[in-house]
Amino acid sequence: MDVEPTDDEKMAGYLSTIESGEASDDESIKAKEAAVLALSALYAKRRESEKLAALLVTLRPLFAAIPKAKTAKLVKRLIEDVAKIPGTEALQMRLCRDAIEWCTAEKRSYLRQRIQARLASLLLDSKQYTDALALLTELLREVKRLDDKQLLVDIFLVEAQTHHALRNLPKATASLTAARTNANAIYCPPLQQAQIDLMAGSLQAENGDFKTAFSYFYEAFENFDTIGDATSVSCVKYMLLSKIMLSLPDDVNALVQGKPGQKAGGPPIEAMSAVAAAHKERSLHDFEAALAAHHAELGADPIIAHHLAALYDILMQENILRLLEPYSVVETAHVASLIKLPLEKVEEKLSQMILDKKLKGILDAGAGCLILYDEAAADSTYEQALETLGNMGKVVDALYSKANLLAAPPKAKEEEKDAKKDGKEKDGKDGEKTLVKKKDKK
């Protein structure tokens, strides 16, 4: 009976294959490549990130002997395997910088550019936005000359994500448009297309067009789900968010019970369902309870957190306006007790609403009350006066023209009559010529 070798025995065998002999023919190159990939996957499975980093340095003599295309494939695969291990962002950036220096020394521009794009993405994830934009600007200048559209799509996409994180929506939209333009000229893999759709949906949501955003999020979900990427769960969350922002609770339930909700499942869907239920009831208390209970799912995602904060403000404003309808003067403490929120938070929101002119009134801090004013009827006297003056101006201009005509000397009047008569005769002759031409045609 054969005994399955242990992981340590497998690693020893892979290392002996990599170190034995030289990569002189195709068979030895294929064997070494397979051993490197298997050893890298095994290190990633055991979460031995430092051994993976050491392997990347150890393999450099081998990289000098094998084709550059295979070298690029192996280096990218090793860095991707390191990324599978949680908490290795700093190590990934160090590996990328070391690899960039090695590629520069060996004059391997193709591989260097792709590692630089990877480093820019890591800088974005670690919120080093300035460094990411500086690296992307330098890289774009170089890649545009080469017209490498596949790499251009990746660079523009990371640039769009960086600008979006900085809340610079016009530049994010411009970068996304450039990425889609280059993607239309080449075959776009499902993962890349899904990332483009996800970015497009995020920007549409920022612009308030949640209906279009939902369509992009659904397309992204389909592509991520096709390749088995975990980002599909985030896409389902964004789809539910779009329906919540559109105030469509029935659609939220349909999504949760349908294909997207069944595939995602778990805490993310439960969190969004709790938010949808609170929004349907217009309950700030339930909304805060949902945010507190599912903070890991809702607060950690910047897109979800941003839109839910805006939704919370809208709900609070609607609740306050509904409570204030029967009052002309009311204590702020009473409003806070009715809405079940801290007094300081309610006073801050009331001040903001007054400044935004969504509430007519003043806060009397000494008396601790809010004084509300009645809506003043719109006075249209000014607009009507302007319209009357405009019409009078037209009348005066017409009278002035007639007065000038009456005051003109007789000779001028006769010349004017002759000119009118000549014009009529000329029109008559032109009409006759036209009639003759039509007859000739017939």
List, for residues 344-391, the tens digit of each pLDDT value: 888 888 888 888 888 888 888 888 888 888 776 667 888 889 999 999
The encoded tokens of residue 370 equal 């809010």
Q: What is the mean pLDDT of the chain?
A: 84
Q: What is the band of 411 on the pLDDT scale with cuts at 50, 70, 90?
A: low
DSSP secondary structure letters along 121-153: HHHHHTT-HHHHHHHHHHHHHHHHHHT-HHHHH
Helix (H) or strand (E) segment spanning residue 389: helix 381-407
Split at pLDDT 50, 70, 90, the class of 418 is low
Of residues 227, 224, 281, the one with CA closest to residue 239: 224
The predicted pLDDT at position 221 comes to 92
Instruction: Centre a 10 Å sphere on the Cβ of residue 416 and count the other Cβ atoms it contains.
Output: 12
Q: Can you tell me the mean pLDDT for 316-324?
A: 85
Question: Could you give the residue ranges of the DSSP H alpha helices within 7-128?
Answer: 7-19, 26-45, 49-58, 60-65, 68-83, 89-106, 109-125
Asked whether the predicted pLDDT for residue 139 surpasses 90, the reply is yes
- In this structure, what token pair is assigned to residue 248? 């469509």
Segment 180-191, tens digit of pLDDT: 999 999 888 999
Q: How far is CA 115 from CA 112, 161, 215, 439, in A?
A: 5, 18, 32, 81
- Determine the average pLDDT of the residues in 239-248: 90
The 10s digit of each residue's pLDDT in 65-80 is 788 888 888 888 888 8
Quote the CA–CA distance of 389 and 395 in Å, as a whole number.
Answer: 10
pLDDT (mean) for 220-238: 89
pLDDT of 8 higher than 80: no
Residue 436 scores a pLDDT above 80 = no
As a whole number, mean pLDDT of residues 228-253 equals 88
Nearest to 42 by CA among 1, 68, 5, 76: 5
The order of strands in the sheet holding 361-364 is 329-331, 369-372, 361-364
Q: How far apart are CA 317 and CA 134, in angstroms?
A: 41
3-state secondary structure of 372: strand
- For residues 255-264, give the mean pLDDT: 80
Query: Which strand (E) or helix (H) includes residue 361?
Result: strand 361-364
Of these ranges, 4-18, 37-51, 125-139, the one predicted with the greatest mean pLDDT is: 125-139
Which spans in 227-342 are helix H?
Answer: 231-245, 249-257, 259-264, 266-281, 284-293, 295-298, 302-324, 332-339
Structure tokens at 317: 């404003």
Report the topology of domain 189-323: 1.25.40
Is the pLDDT score of 339 beyond 50? yes
User: What residues does each domain of the chain span?
Assistant: 189-323, 326-372
Q: For residue 44, is pLDDT > 80?
A: yes
Two tokens, residue 70:
């295979």
* Averaged pLDDT for residues 238-264: 85
Contact 118, 95 (CB under 8 A): no
CA distance 152 to 183: 9
CA–CA–CA angle 168, 170, 171 (5° rounding): 70
- Given a contact cutoff of 8 angstroms between Cβ atoms, the answer to whether 271 and 294 are in contact is yes
Among the ranges given (135-149, 206-220, 253-267, 293-307), the one the predictor scored with the smallest mean pLDDT: 253-267
| Number of neighbouring beta carbons within 10 Å of residue 37 | 16
434, pLDDT greater than 50: no
Domain 326-372 has CATH 1.10.10.10: yes
Closest to 290 measured CA to CA, from 240, 255, 326 = 240
Q: Do the beta carbons of residue 62 and residue 23 sit within 8 Å?
A: yes
pLDDT of residue 442: 43
Tell me which of 170 and 415 has the higher pLDDT.
170
Q: 361: which residues sit within 8 A by CB, 6+ positions away?
A: 354, 370, 371, 372, 373
